Structure 1
Amino acid sequence: MGKTILKLNATLALVLFMSSAAFGEIKISVGDDVITNQRAALAVEAGGRGYGPQSPRDIDLQTGSNNRTFSTAPEFGKMSLCDIHFHKNAEHRGGNFTTYAGNGDGRGYGTGFKYDGSLSDAELAPIEGLIGAHGQDSLQSGDTIEIHFVYSTAKATIGPTLGTCLSEAIGNPQLRVEAVVAVLVNDGGESLTDMARVETSNDLNQAPNLPDDLGAPVVYAGSTTGPAYNEKGSPFQVTWSVRPKTTKLNISSVDAWLGDNPFGESFAHAVRNLVLNSDLLSEIN
């Protein structure tokens, strides 16, 4: 493995380990102090400013002391699907995805949580080519992803970015995310193109094949995610519904979906640091 060390400043070194070209991936790890400093910056920036509960979180822990409350969004069948995207590695921790992927590059890539279980040699067989290539990262058999099915009470449209979930007619729509964690396999597995198929029912966009066999979802009050909020609070109020069990997805179907979907998605998004500060977490009932 080739190794390159990039100095970002006097106190921070970013070490990049180049894996084999077949995997098309660079594994990156910053020091624990980088993540600790990001969490401290979040606590300072969000503290006492009235931010609501944040995401992602450990869904196995029910405690939280953020007292900003908002109404739970309706069931997803009464809302309109407006966006589907996914993150490489699970943003949430819990269920059977608790294996820490590492600190990553400090900007949301190479971090998050992985599927805890084991896979067969056939399932782990590398796939040729680069799937969802973005910068120096891509997807490979054995990777974990967290898929977000985003719903809105607005008359939402299907298209790229979360802006499709908003509307000039409703300034404060309720938002809901149905989260599905999956591990990518090269033998068998479900199809993402089937799971993410969109239909219209009662004038509402729906994903009729959203899994219902991955355990009782953990529903809680949170926010939007993504590494842009590692050092600041998200102002969006979101009802989360996170399934605790992991499904297996055929990696070829992921490649097919990334090549043709109405949301303009072509790669896996980065993840936000797990929120640990109780003052920024809701209580799960």
Structure 2
Amino acid sequence: MKQTILAAAIGLFVPFGSSFAEDLCKGYGPQTPRDISSKAGTNKRLFNEAPEAAGLNLCNIHTHTNAEHKGPGFTIFAGSGEHGGFKCNETDSLTAAELAEPEGGESFHGVKPGDTIEVHWVYSSCDVQPGKGLGACLSESCANPQLRVEAQVFLVVNDSNALNFMDFAYMGNSANGFQQPKSLPAGTGTPVVFAGSTTGPSYTQATCSPLQVTWSVRPQCAKLDINSLNAWSKADKVFEEDHSHGVRQLVTAPELLAPIN
């Protein structure tokens, strides 16, 4: 049962939850995504912060089209619904070259230059290998893991001088006995760390996720070469990703947010 819930939890629209208290889910811990510029929150459900990523096993990497979170570098509202969320602030200032179609017209699961994506590197305290979906983050012997998500929002461009996603791929890498990506993005601000939940369009402010996740979200966008995304989708096959996921609309009710220290 837990495995079914977890596999559907992240990466999977729904409109904003009602602000009326009677429409909010009751008894759940803090929810995600949120505006990381605001520290406000009144949800009192506590759980232990997951260890740093280097002390956990990478279990999944996936993308969302548009940012699920709102942050200083991604404030342009992209609408409600499964394909809403937020776009990078530089979206409207890209050059014609950056917006050019890649050679052969190839796109990353429908993502094209000028689009925003939010990438989630998901980590588990279970002794697991990276794999398809969030079911890869637990096992028969470890059904209640500590979970951590490292998140970076990217503005996708056609530019070989932009970041190369292969630098952040898995490709069978390990370090100090833990499954790890080759690296995580840097230079996009100090990550905002907070208690939250799994995300995805199957959840709303009325239908909450029961799972507990430590989030680490970088506050600024970074430009990412579309060609490197295409290369990753062909090379890092262990995740079996066949689409860029939709978004869960922003959680705004203080009762569903943890305070950020």
Shorter-normalised TM-score: what interval? Answer: 0.7 to 0.9
Displacement of 1:40 after TM fit? 2.6
Displacement of 1:213 after TM fit? 1.5
The yes-or-no answer on 1:214 pairing with 2:188 is yes
1:132 corresponding residue in structure 2: 108
Query: What is the letter of the counterpart of residue 151 of structure 1?
Result: Y
The yes-or-no answer on 1:143 pairing with 2:115 is yes
2: distance between equivalents of 1:173 and 1:162?
11
Query: What is the letter of the counterpart of residue 158 of structure 1?
Result: P
1:178 corresponding residue in structure 2: 150
Deviates more, 1:253-262 or 1:50-59: 253-262
The yes-or-no answer on 1:98 pairing with 2:75 is yes
* Equivalent pair of 1:45/1:233 in contact (CA under 8 Å): no
1:241 corresponding residue in structure 2: 216
2:251 corresponding residue in structure 1: 275
Going from structure 1 to structure 2, the CA distance change for 1:42 and 1:210 (only over 3 Å counts) comes to farther
* Equivalent pair of 1:130/1:139 in contact (CA under 8 Å): no
Displacement of 1:166 after TM fit? 0.7
2: distance between equivalents of 1:58 and 1:132?
27
Q: Indicate the structure with greater strand content.
A: 1
1: distance between equivalents of 2:163 and 2:191?
19
Going from structure 1 to structure 2, the CA distance change for 1:235 and 1:98 (only over 3 Å counts) comes to same
Going from structure 1 to structure 2, the CA distance change for 1:42 and 1:217 (only over 3 Å counts) comes to farther
**Deviation string, structure 1 residues 145-176 (Cα, Å, up to 9, x no partner):** 00000001111211101011112222321000
Report the structure number with the largest CA radius of gyration: 1
Match of residue 47, structure 1, among 15, 21, 25: 25
2:240 corresponding residue in structure 1: 264
Deviates more, 1:187-196 or 1:171-180: 187-196
1:18 corresponding residue in structure 2: none
Match of residue 190, structure 1, among 163, 166, 171: 163
**Percent identical residues:** 48
- What RMSD in Å do the two structures reach over aligned CA positions? 2.0
Going from structure 1 to structure 2, the CA distance change for 1:52 and 1:115 (only over 3 Å counts) comes to same
For residue 123 of structure 1, give the secondary structure of its aligned residue in structure 2. Answer: coil
Query: What is the letter of the counterpart of residue 249 of structure 1?
Result: L
List gaps (5 residues or longer) in structure 1. Answer: 1-29
Query: What is the letter of the counterpart of residue 216 of structure 1?
Result: T
More relative contact order, 1 or 2 (CA 8 Å, 6+ apart) = 2
List gaps (5 residues or longer) in structure 2. Answer: 1-12
Q: TM-score, normalised by structure 1?
A: 0.80
2: distance between equivalents of 1:249 and 1:266?
19
Q: TM-score, normalised by structure 2?
A: 0.87
**Deviation string, structure 1 residues 18-65 (Cα, Å, up to 9, x no partner):** xxxxxxxxxxxx9xxx835xx1399656533x2000000000000001
1:255 corresponding residue in structure 2: 230
* Equivalent pair of 1:42/1:233 in contact (CA under 8 Å): no
* Equivalent pair of 1:73/1:176 in contact (CA under 8 Å): yes
For residue 122 of structure 1, give the secondary structure of its aligned residue in structure 2. Answer: coil
The yes-or-no answer on 1:225 pairing with 2:199 is yes
1: distance between equivalents of 2:49 and 2:182?
22
Query: What is the letter of the counterpart of residue 84 of structure 1?
Result: I
* Equivalent pair of 1:82/1:157 in contact (CA under 8 Å): yes
**Deviation string, structure 1 residues 91-146 (Cα, Å, up to 9, x no partner):** 0001210101122xx3x12x01001023222112233525234xxxx111010100
Deviates more, 1:207-216 or 1:233-242: 207-216
* Equivalent pair of 2:190/2:219 in contact (CA under 8 Å): yes
1: distance between equivalents of 2:61 and 2:20?
27
1:83 corresponding residue in structure 2: 60
* Equivalent pair of 2:40/2:259 in contact (CA under 8 Å): yes
